[in-house]
Amino acid sequence: MHPVSLRQVGKTYRLGSVDVPALSDITLDIHQGAFTVLAGPSGSGKTTLLNLIGCIDTPDRGEITVAGQQVQSMPDDALSDFRARHIGFIFQNFNLIPVLSARENVEYPLVLAGVAAAERRRRVDALMDAVGLSDRQHNLPAQLSGGQRQRVAIARALATAPRLVLADEPTANLDSHTGAAIIALMRRLQREEDVSFVLSSHDPQVHAEADDIIFIRDGRITGIEAGRDTAGGRI
Amino acid sequence: MNTVSLALRNLLRNRRRSLTTLLAMVVGLVAILLFGGYRSNIIYGTQTGFVQQTGHLQIQRRGYFLDGGDNPTAYGIADYPRMLARIRQDPALAPMLVIATPTLQLGGIAGNFAAGVSRSVMATGLIPEDRNRMMQWNDLGVVSYARPLPLAGAAEDTVVVGTGVARKLQLCALLDAADCPPVAARSTPDGAALPDDIAALSSLEKAGPAPAAGHPIEMLAATARGAPNVASLNVIQASNMGIKALDDVYMAMHLAQAQRLIFGAGTPQVTAILVQLKHTAQIPAAREELGRLLAGHFPDADLEILDFDTLNPIYRQTNEFMDSMFGFIALLIGVIVLFTIGNTMSTAVVERTTEIGTLRAMGLRRAGIRRLFVCEALLLGLAGSALGVLGALLIAYAINHSGWSWTPPGYAYAYLILVRVGEDLPLLVGSVAGMLAVTLLSAWWPARRAARLVIVDALRHA
């Protein structure tokens, strides 16, 4: 079963009196356990597609199935609960909660998902260790570097062991060296956790790591490179 | 990590803004509590004064309160000893009762014929021991200005008058020198205008037994049959009654003396039976029981029961005036606090828009966002309330020990300025509850706006 399936999905934004089509007739399957990259120029619709897959935006047309459930007509509270259980997010600007320590940021999705304290502790310990921040876990985000913040964000996205992690330009605010390290970390954890990653990026380093690349232009899929032979290979 | 913990950290994130908001709440609550405490002191003080003077309830002949003030003989209660006995023995009333005592109100002319002066007075015939016991009522714990009447144990011809009456009657020995200007500075003596028959009556009285030591005066009143009657009295004290209008006409005398003056050798009567209860809140129950008792044992007496609120309209007017002032001030402060907190929370929502989008994306429901902001406001409200109450208690303590005083309009002497904050639990609870309600109300709209943000728009917010 595909973790994400889209069928003839369309989305149009209205700017003043003008309708601006953001996505048109998107039909797509994301493969289980794949590191999938949405590639395309700015304004091509990558972020809109990512938002629809992440259930934080709704399509005007078509059907979206995530983790086996049709999500386009779910009520808001049900969608919130669904996101808490099944989807992790990594943002370009890290979007950590500034008043929570690194550890608490990772723990917060587990609190939302209603996980017991002991299990939360075990899971957070493991993730902080996995992203190499055990020694900085009590630091506030403001006390961490950009790369460290994004590592916390990755750990947070994986906290609830979701079926799907979405990352919007995760390396855009990092230097190339740090960006490469973040990509390697995401790739490693994606394989270890057997989770599907969908990233929007035009960073060649990210493209180089992708199992599948979906090319988008003007809101339409213009090509798909599936089953690419990367260094790690597809599980 | 829960909503409260997160809310607290968010408040500490921008300490200066939180502190400014807190300060506005504290100042607002302190102002409300201090004015409320001042209002309580006035209302409770006024209530205590009236209950000490008139009791909680009075049994009168129907119509006396409205029409009979100047005609006690037409509205007399002759069977009052039996009524008093019934009231005191009633098993339902007894636990509530402090005292039940008779009184006779009469009007007349008091004259110091030796000085050639006279003036109209409103006299109260009373049982001094009972009245002194009534004066001790202080269920509300206010500073009481009541002093016992020196009539208790004194001869039946002794009276106490207001300082205004004493001044008019030239009883200067009972007054401070400043209160009794020399006769030369005054107008023509009133005594010259006294009718011959009254002067004759006076001379007859003077021919009787020698009066007790004091300041002799004569009191002229109309008897039950309309004839003039004169009693020789001895003023043993001039009391400042507080309110000048009362001070200028007040006279207290023994009930038996007042009854002899009005009813002569006939059946003595009274104009009211005063009933003082342990607590003001017992009025409805006591009134109901009294009504049942009177209807059962004195069905033909045509009586009515009036409470002190009805007997003293100025008490109700004072209450209404103070309530309207308090309400207006509380409303003003409430609006200021409402907008201050609302502004703080709205700014927080704008500043944290991206964070709200992130929390929503991670799975926090709209209600969770709403709860977070309301919780922040509630924490501010609780802290503001605690500090406000503390501040008000400290300032109230300072005021109550400062010795500041003022003379209210129409009053004859100054009253201490006191504020009852700690002693007025309803005021404390009501003000804090009001402050918390305003806090929640002011946070509700920004919290609702935060909860309704579109996630993708919030995440795009710079």
The region of weakest confidence among A111-115, B360-364, B392-396 is: A111-115
End-to-end CA distance of chain B: 27
The region of weakest confidence among B81-90, B119-128, B280-289, B312-321 is: B312-321
Nearest CA-CA distance, residue B359 and chain A, Å: 8
Nearest CA-CA distance, residue B365 and chain A, Å: 6
Please tell me the predicted confidence (pLDDT) of residue B185: 46
The minimal CB distance from A99 to the residues B13, B360, B459 is found for B13
Best mutation target, A14, A56, A110, A200, to test chain B (most B CBs within 10 A): A56
CB atoms within 10 A of CB B197: 9
Please tell me the predicted confidence (pLDDT) of residue A109: 93
Distances, alpha carbon B376 to alpha carbons B277, B349, B450, in Å: 48, 11, 13
In this structure, chain A runs to a length of 235
Is B210 a residue whose pLDDT tops 50?
Answer: no
Check: CB of residue B130 under 8 Å from CB of residue B111.
no
Please tell me the predicted confidence (pLDDT) of residue A110: 93
Nearest CA-CA distance, residue B368 and chain A, Å: 10
Tokens 């992130």 locate to: B358
Please tell me the predicted confidence (pLDDT) of residue B8: 92
Contact between chains at A95 and B459 (C-beta distance less than 8 A): yes
Q: Taking phi first (over 0 means left), then psi (-120 to 50 degrees means alpha), and beta for anything else, what does residue A170 get?
A: alpha
ipTM of the complex: 0.92
Please tell me the predicted confidence (pLDDT) of residue A76: 93
Question: Span A55-72, mean pLDDT?
Answer: 91
Contact between chains at A98 and B355 (C-beta distance less than 8 A): yes
Check: CB of residue A100 under 8 Å from CB of residue B3.
no
Please tell me the predicted confidence (pLDDT) of residue B70: 66
Residues 199-228 of A with CB under 8 A from B: none
| Residues in chain A within 8 Å Cβ distance of B362 | 83-84, 89, 108-109, 112, 156
Check: CB of residue A94 under 8 Å from CB of residue A141.
yes
Please tell me the predicted confidence (pLDDT) of residue B184: 52
All residues at 6 or more sequence positions from A219 whose CB lies less than 8 Å from its CB, including other chains? A11, A21, A22, A23, A24, A26, A44, A45, A48
Cα–Cα dist B157/B94, whole Å: 33
Distances, alpha carbon A36 to alpha carbons A111, A220, B322, B430, in Å: 28, 17, 73, 61
Please tell me the predicted confidence (pLDDT) of residue A181: 87
Give B143-176 pLDDT, tens digit per residue: 777 788 899 989 999 999 998 999 989 888 877 7
Question: Span B238-255, mean pLDDT?
Answer: 88
Quick check: A140 contacting B, CB < 8 Å? no
Contact between chains at B363 and A85 (C-beta distance less than 8 A): yes
Is B340 a residue whose pLDDT tops 50?
Answer: yes
Residue, of B391 and B1, whose pLDDT is higher: B391
The minimal CB distance from B363 to the residues A51, A99, A109 is found for A109
| Residues in chain A within 8 Å Cβ distance of B366 | 76-77, 80
Exposure class string for B146-164: b at 16+ Cβ within 10 A, else e: beebebeebebbbbbbbbb
Query: How many residue pairs from chains A and B have C-beta atoms closer than 8 A?
Result: 68
Is A55 a residue whose pLDDT tops 90?
Answer: yes
Cα–Cα dist B1/B443, whole Å: 22
Give B90-135 pLDDT, tens digit per residue: 999 999 999 999 999 999 999 998 888 999 999 999 999 999 999 9
Please tell me the predicted confidence (pLDDT) of residue A209: 85
Contact between chains at B366 and A98 (C-beta distance less than 8 A): no
Please tell me the predicted confidence (pLDDT) of residue B409: 63
All residues at 6 or more sequence positions from A35 whose CB lies less than 8 Å from its CB, including other chains? A186, A187, A190, A197, A199, A209, A210, A211, A212, A230
Mean pLDDT computed over every residue of chain B: 87
Is A118 a residue whose pLDDT tops 90?
Answer: yes
Residue B267, burial from CB neighbour count under 10 angstroms (0-12, 13-18, 19+): exposed
Cα–Cα dist B139/B145, whole Å: 14
B361: Cα within 13 Å, side-chain hemisphere? 32
All residues at 6 or more sequence positions from B183 whose CB lies less than 8 Å from its CB, including other chains? B115, B170, B189
Nearest CA-CA distance, residue B370 and chain A, Å: 13
Tokens 């090319």 locate to: A215
